[in-house]
């Protein structure tokens, strides 16, 4: 079983790359963004709670995020592995994920960060916001708030996974094919 955490700032290409990686390595793709949007669209209790935070450009609290993710893992008991996209985002979430996977006799194989310049990412998100309908991609102030949240809460995960020898950084600028090749090189050399 292979369990990959794919992370990077909003707009770094996690969702795009996850689509290729899940097919290539037969992984179950778990995107917290997709899970949140599904729950919000269907007006579930957790979805309504998550929407309040997302609309402000804040991260959803750990208790909501962890509960949703555990439910998704439990729904896929025969998976060959998981590709975690957008989770964990905090040290608390990383610890909760490690404990949850350990309870199932599993663990994180690697964490791969897509790295890109903030200004490039802001432009990407504003463009995406024109067609996606996502409120959080249409307001530059909210986008920059998300980056501030990322820097404060998610960036410390680099050290967490470096200390476990499970952290790999990949240049997230280039064509989709170039970035997919960089990610594949990391995964195939684990």
Does the annotation count 37 as an active-site position? Answer: no
Q: Which of 37, 123, 128, 153 is catalytic?
A: 128
Q: Please indicate whether residue 182 is annotated as part of the active site.
A: no
Which of 9, 14, 22, 182 does the annotation list as catalytic? 14
Say how far apart CA 145 and CA 58 lie, in whole Å.
7
- Overall size of the chain counted in residues: 190
- Say whether 128 is catalytic: yes
Q: Is 134 a catalytic residue?
A: yes
Which of 51, 89, 166, 182 is catalytic? The answer is: 89
Catalytic residue among 37, 123, 134, 144: 134
Contact 15, 83 (CB under 8 A): no
Q: Among this protein's residues, is 56 annotated catalytic?
A: no
CB–CB of 21/180 below 8 Å?
A: yes
Residues paired with residue 114 on neighbouring β-strands, in sequence order: 170
Cβ-count burial of 32 within 10 angstroms (0-12 exposed, 13-18 middle, 19+ buried)? Answer: buried
Catalytic residue from among 9, 51, 124, 146: 146
The DSSP-derived string for 87-111 is ---SHHHHHHHHHHHHTTT----EE
List the catalytic residues: 14, 89, 128, 134, 146
């Amino acid at each position: 079983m292979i369990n990959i955490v794919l992370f990077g700032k909003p707009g770094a290409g996690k969702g795009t790359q996850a689509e290729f990686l899940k097919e290539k390595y037969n992984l179950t793709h778990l995107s917290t963004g997709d899970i949140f949007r599904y729950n919000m669209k269907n007006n579930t209790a957790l979805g309504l709670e998550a929407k309040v935070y997302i609309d402000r450009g804040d991260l959803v609290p750990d208790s909501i995020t962890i509960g949703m993710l555990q439910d998704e893992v439990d729904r896929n008991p025969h998976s060959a592995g998981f590709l975690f996209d957008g989770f964990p985002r905090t040290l608390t979430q990383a610890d909760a994920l490690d404990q949850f996977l350990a309870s199932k006799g599993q663990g994180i194989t690697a964490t791969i960060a897509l790295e890109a310049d903030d200004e490039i990412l802001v432009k990407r998100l504003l463009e995406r916001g024109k067609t996606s309908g996502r409120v959080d991609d249409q307001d530059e102030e909210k986008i920059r708030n998300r980056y501030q949240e990322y820097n404060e809460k998610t960036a410390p995960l680099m050290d967490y996974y470096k200390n476990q020898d499970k952290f790999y950084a990949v240049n997230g600028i280039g064509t989709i094919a170039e970035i997919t090749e960089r990610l594949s090189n990391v995964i195939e050399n684990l």
